[in-house]
Amino acid sequence: MKSNAFDVMGKVAWLWACSPLHKKWPLSVFAINVIPAIQTNQFALLIKDELPVAFCSWASLDLECEVKYINDVTSLYAKDWMSGERKWFIDWIAPFGHNMEL
């Protein structure tokens, strides 16, 4: 993983900790939902005044992975994120209300 990926991961972790929903989730969900998004460049990170304010990630799933994800949102492996053409939002974190900018 490139050093820039670690920078992005840190910013997303900060947003995750600021989100009333996400901060209750275990760290294992962060690893499942965030690391593959960064590795596959399937994310948007909104920076405002040099601070992270929002993060969005998506996956392109094939039918099998889509069904697996519908049944268990923690079931995706890194290889699944670019397995097909079915677009799914995986995470949307905007704890400071920057939804429209994303």
Catalytic (active-site) positions: 22, 91
Name the strand (E) or helix (H) holding 45: strand 43-48
The CA distance from 51 to 34, in Å, is 18
Which residue in 74, 78, 95 sits closest to 14, CA to CA?
Answer: 95
Which residue in 17, 49, 50 sits closest to 34, CA to CA?
Answer: 17
Q: CB of 80 within 8 A of CB of 72?
A: no
The CA distance from 95 to 18, in Å, is 6
